[in-house]
Amino acid sequence: TQLLEQSPQFLSIQEGENLTVYCNSSSVFSSLQWYRQEPGEGPVLLVTVVTGGEVKKLKRLTFQFGDARKDSSLHITAAQPGDTGLYLCAGARGAQKLVFGQGTRLTINP
């Protein structure tokens, strides 16, 4: 059973377009993290959201945590080829162990 459903799993768009990646669950998380991973490397932490309804911005990336702390979204404005990678959401429940979504493989075409 996948506790965190990420969608879409694959996304290929043109440079300059906007996109949103979703991370949904029926479970409540104490915090949720977004990572970006490039081929052959480990995931790099982008952001942690903790409070329901919280919105965090990182340049062209906007992260939102749902009011009930069960879902999150990542919105990228004016995507660039450098945004290409695997985006992973991960939820924490109590203990430090994280539950990962399936990942969204994003390709930005020049």
Partner 1 sequence: GAVVSQHPSWVICKSGTSVKIECRSLDFQATTMFWYRQFPKQSLMLMATSNEGSKATYEQGVEKDKFLINHASLTLSTLTVTSAHPEDSSFYICSATEDGSHEQYFGPGTRLTVT
Strands, E assignment, 2-103? 5-7, 10-14, 19-24, 31-37, 44-49, 55-58, 61-65, 71-76, 85-92, 98-100
Residue 78 beta carbon to partner 1: minimum distance, rounded to whole angstroms: 27
For the record, the structure tokens of 37 come out as 């991973």
Name the residues that contact partner 1, by CB under 8 A.
Answer: 30-31, 33, 35, 40-45, 48, 88, 90, 92, 96-98, 100-103, 105
CB closer to partner 1 out of 17 and 38: 38
Distance set, CA 45 to CA 26, 36, 75 (Å):
23, 7, 16
CB closer to partner 1 out of 75 and 93: 93
CB closer to partner 1 out of 15 and 99: 99
Residue 86 beta carbon to partner 1: minimum distance, rounded to whole angstroms: 8
Residue 1 beta carbon to partner 1: minimum distance, rounded to whole angstroms: 12
